[in-house]
Structure 1
Amino acid sequence: MIVGNGEVPDGAADLINAADLVIRFNDCRSVGAGGSRTDIVAVCNTGRPGKGMLSSALWTMNPAVIAARAIWCVRDPQKFRDMRGALAVSHPELDDFCDDYTGGFAAFAAETGKDHFTIGRDVHEALDVALAAYDPASYVVPSSGMVAIAHVLAAEEFRDGDICLAGFGHQGWEWHPFAAERRFVDDHVARGRLSRIDSLFATAERPLLHCTSEVTR
């Protein structure tokens, strides 16, 4: 179960908590109506979001973050270093966008007994190629949620899993390609590779993610 920070349907909490594995994002605003189980917290480890989380006790002491077994960093540090020059020209207002805080998240994970994993640039770049098929407007990077979804779709350990999404409204920051991301997800739902939680209320007995409970990346 991959739970974004958007709205979830009434009654979704029990279905989410029953999943074999629950991935949440950043400050885990989905906790509450979106259940409480948290196995992995996927974070934007660059720019202001990364800096803000590491410097805030509201994040480090967040019960969902404390409960998680692993921290995933969704931004490949070298990829973002390579982007810095071009962004300085195209989006000079994003002067701190590529600042990297991966080391801080790795240290936090080590100090708190969690696994740490960084999603590689190959996932980001393959996702850019896939999104191009949906004619996105000009954008800077895919959203953190979309990068995590792309990683789960590509990773061998999830290949036989039933992957369900909740809390993805596909809207937010203007420089993410949300319309293309929605179409990408909808196509994978149509192929049976993903599902949205709304469709599971009629089949609540179905396991939501078949994978070993040891998976943390």
Structure 2
Amino acid sequence: MTSILLIGNGKLPGNARALIESADIVCRFNLPPREHEEFGYKTSVLYLATTAKQIGREIVSGRLAGNRFFQEAREIVFPYNPEVAARYLKRPNWLSLLKGRRADWSGDCAKICLSSGKSLRAVSTQNYEDICKALGIDVSAKNLFPSSGVLALFDVLNAGTEVRVPVHMIGFGFAGWKRHAWAMEEAYVKSQSALGRVAVLG
């Protein structure tokens, strides 16, 4: 059985390095903050939201391939696949598009990942729809969207029987972009914790 640690981009507990080193698989999201570097760079799977401005900037600047967490990762996962981006996410407004913003950078990101020798996959559209349903998000409204973190958790929990439960989580503050349903996500994590599938360690 494989132990999995999901690391959010919030504050980490003092024993984070020990938790990270003891986990079989370490999952992170997007570009972890510099404060996390003191706990090491161990990364097995990196979930990259290629619909995010932050990732677009890193691709255009050429910095993504040089990011230590990206370099450490064996597998890159797109939490929002191109079909989800086109069908369920909001497109940037015309002014943003004129400035070079895109709705989805997955094509460019895939080239960087493959040229860097990374394994590459995307969370399925079905999983996106299922987590929205579990959270109570109306996908047709396009006003609330699941975060990369909860998509990764759902992805891991549905990966198969080889995953050891509970899945451990650290660094999740359930706060950030206003279009993520943070209260719903926190409630979902608590429900999974009550079932013994998740353990929030800090």
**Considering the TM-score relative to the shorter chain, is it more than 0.5?**
yes
Whether 1:63 aligns to 2:65 is no
**Structure 2 counterpart of 1:203:** none
Report the Cα distance in structure 2 between the residues aligned to 1:123 and 1:98, rounded to whole angstroms. 23
Distance in 2 (CA, whole Å) between partners of 1:161 and 1:169 is 21
Instruction: Give the deviation of 1:158 after TM superposition.
Output: 4.8
Q: TM-score, normalised by structure 1?
A: 0.78
Alpha-carbon distance in structure 2 between the residues aligned to 1:98 and 1:158: 37
SS at match of 2:149: helix
Q: Which amino acid aligns with 1:14?
A: A
How many residue pairs match? The answer is 190
Q: Which runs of 5+ in 2 are unaligned?
A: none
Matched position secondary structure for 1:55: helix
Residue 125 of structure 2 corresponds to residue 116 of structure 1: no
* Alignment of structure 1 residues 27-176 onto 2, 5 Å: 27-29=31-33, 31-83=36-88, 87=90, 99-132=103-136, 139-156=143-160, 158-176=162-180
Distance 1:176 1:32 in 2: 26
SS in 2 for 1:31: helix
Q: Is it true that 1:5 corresponds to 2:9 in the alignment?
A: yes
What is the identity, as a one-letter code, of the residue corresponding to 2:23? A
Q: Is the 8 A contact 1:170 1:178 kept in 2?
A: yes
Same amino acid, percent of matched pairs: 27
Give, in angstroms, the shift of residue 106 of structure 1: 1.5
Gaps of 5+ in 1: 199-217
User: Distance in 2 between the 1:150 and 1:158 partners?
Assistant: 15
Mapped to 2, the partners of 1:59 and 1:31 lie a distance apart of 17
Q: 2:23 aligns with which of 19, 26, 32?
A: 19
Q: TM-score, normalization: structure 2? A: 0.83
Q: Distance in 2 between matches of 1:194 and 1:31?
A: 22
Contact map agreement 1:71 1:105 (CA 8 A) in 2 = no
Q: Matched residues in 2 for 1:31 and 1:51: separation?
A: 22
Q: Which residue of 2 aligns with 1:210?
A: none
For the residues of structure 2 that align with 1:47 and 1:53, how far apart are their CA atoms? 10
1:98-148 C-alpha deviation (Å, 9 max, x unpaired): 712111221111111110011111111101110119xxxx84211111111
After superposing on structure 2, the runs of 4+ consecutive aligned residues of structure 1 that deviate more than 6 Å are none
Segment drifting more, 175-184 vs 20-29: 20-29
Per-residue CA deviation, residues 10-41 of structure 1 (Å, 9 max, x unaligned), is 12211112100001111122633544211111
